[in-house]
């Protein structure tokens, strides 16, 4: 099985690569459109600004590959946000794989932004990505923007108010949190992704 982890120059991809190595996956970190296109599955990680990340994807030529990739694709943190059509962060255009606009996390005295730390994950509908998880597992979040609630939402978390923590639409999946830093629950999610049929 070949896994391409998209290199966009933002965020710590080393932890994603180590997590995949622990699961026995043959993963390559690359911004080569041909290598991404030929992979059996793709992971799009990211920490940082949406507009900058999309600029990097466009410059490398990987943007078009991700827009049309038909095998399993997983976005992590900023990577999940880039799966949507647009974002308030830099008024960026996303990959358009899932309808909707990413918005800034509402600020409140009880929930200062960024949301940083561990939060419970609540399943909202069944998905192969969630199989084998203990009930209401915890996951590690670091983010200031949230994806819209929609039919694509498969799990939520709460920080001040509920927000989409995981999404799925066809072969496109996303985690707003960092599964590679979320202990056993994160490892289960990554293992499930690696087990999805191509």
Say which CATH number the domain at 112 has: 3.40.50.880
User: Would you call 38 a catalytic residue per the annotation?
Assistant: no
* Confidence at residue 1, expressed as pLDDT on a 0 to 100 scale: 64
User: Would you call 93 a catalytic residue per the annotation?
Assistant: no
**Domain tally for the chain?**
1
Catalytic residue among 63, 77, 115, 175: 77
Tens of each residue's pLDDT in the chain, 198 residues: 699 999 997 667 999 999 999 999 999 999 999 999 999 999 999 888 999 999 999 999 999 999 999 999 999 999 999 999 999 999 999 999 999 999 999 888 888 999 999 999 999 999 999 999 988 899 999 999 999 999 999 999 999 999 999 999 999 999 999 999 999 999 999 999 999 998
Catalytic residue among 63, 89, 147, 178: 178
User: Would you call 198 a catalytic residue per the annotation?
Assistant: no
Q: Where are the beta strands (DSSP E) in 64-179?
A: 73-76, 84-87, 92-93, 98-104, 115-120, 122-123, 138-143, 145-146, 153-159, 161-169, 172-175
Domain that holds residue 138: 2-195
Q: What is the pLDDT of residues 100-134, one digit of tens each?
A: 999 999 888 888 999 999 999 999 999 999 999 98
């Amino acid at each position: 099985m070949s896994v391409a982890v998209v290199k966009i120059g933002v965020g710590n991809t080393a932890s994603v690569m180590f997590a995949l190595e622990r699961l026995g996956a043959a993963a390559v970190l690359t911004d080569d459109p041909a290598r991404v296109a030929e992979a059996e599955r793709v992971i799009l990680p990211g920490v940082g600004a949406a507009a900058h990340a999309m600029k990097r994807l466009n410059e490398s030529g990987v943007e078009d590959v991700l827009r049309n990739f038909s095998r399993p694709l997983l976005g992590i943190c900023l990577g999940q946000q880039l799966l949507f059509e647009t974002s308030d962060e830099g008024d960026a255009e996303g990959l358009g794989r899932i309808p909707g606009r990413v918005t800034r996390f509402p600020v409140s005295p009880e929930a200062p932004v960024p949301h940083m730390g561990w939060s419970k994950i609540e399943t909202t509908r069944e998905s192969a990505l969630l199989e084998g998880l203990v009930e209401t597992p915890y996951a590690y979040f670091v983010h200031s923007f949230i994806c819209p609630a929609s039919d694509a939402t498969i799990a939520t978390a709460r920080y001040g108010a509920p927000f989409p923590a995981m999404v799925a639409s066809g072969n496109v999946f996303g985690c707003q949190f960092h599964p590679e830093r979320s202990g056993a629950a994160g490892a289960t999610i990554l293992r499930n992704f690696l087990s999805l049929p191509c």
